[in-house]
Amino acid sequence: MIWLWILLAAALTVLGIFWLGRLPAASRPLAGAAVMLGLTGYALQGSPALPGHPVAQAAEPEGFGEAITDRQQGMANRFGPAAQWIGMSDGFMRTGKTELAAQTLEKGLERYPDNVDLWTGLGNALVAHGGGVMSPAAALAFDEAAKRDPSHPAPPFFAGLAMAQSGDLKGAEAVWNRLLQRSPADAPWRPDLEMRLAQLRQALGPELPLESPAGP
């Protein structure tokens, strides 16, 4: 049945070319030959009777949790003076405009130079802009955030995430382990941190003991 529809479509195509298209008589044999060539090729290679087979979407590779733009660990102050800058930066990050995201946070830091969330967000944006690599500028932003508030969990958490994504698994393990040791048992970010740390240690394999010694 499918071939009947194919031949009908070919006939309508020829009629359209010859009469509706007002093709010159000298060019009609060439046009007809082109249509016949197409039918011949389809007859040799086409398989109209085969059922449809949608392509399954490839599974995302396993990593260390959500993307680096994730801010849902209860670490960022979404109602403080820097919330609007963080919101705008997150919007740019979601659309892949990482340079604008970083520039937005830099503008926010001109107004609030001691805001930990802005410095941490700037580190995240610079890492994303560098293709997931911890650049010196990103490391400096995380360091500046930690200087503003050494007890804040966001700078070491996101710095460790950037280090892990950059391939420095041992460095990330050390940073996250120190953060875990000083995190309260009921901290909202602790379950997520424990999950990522377990994935990290599994990736490192037997070369690392289950509990690394805490740093200074």
Give the pLDDT confidence score for residue 204 in this predicted structure.
85
CB of 108 within 8 A of CB of 85? yes
User: Tokens 């010196």 appear where?
Assistant: 136
Q: What letter represents residue 94's amino acid?
A: R
Mean per-residue pLDDT pooled into runs of 10, the chain (216 residues)? 57 59 58 55 51 42 43 53 84 91 94 92 93 93 94 93 91 94 90 91 69 44
Give the pLDDT confidence score for residue 83 in this predicted structure.
82
Give the pLDDT confidence score for residue 1 in this predicted structure.
54
Residue 194, token pair as written in the block: 């424990």
Give the pLDDT confidence score for residue 58 in this predicted structure.
35
Torsion (CA) 67, 200, 177, 101 in degrees, nearest 10: -20
Give the pLDDT confidence score for residue 86 in this predicted structure.
87
CB of 114 within 8 A of CB of 120? no
Q: Which residues of 17-48 are buried (b: 16+ CB within 10 A; e: fewer)?
A: beeeeebeeeeeeebbeeeeeebeeeeeeeee
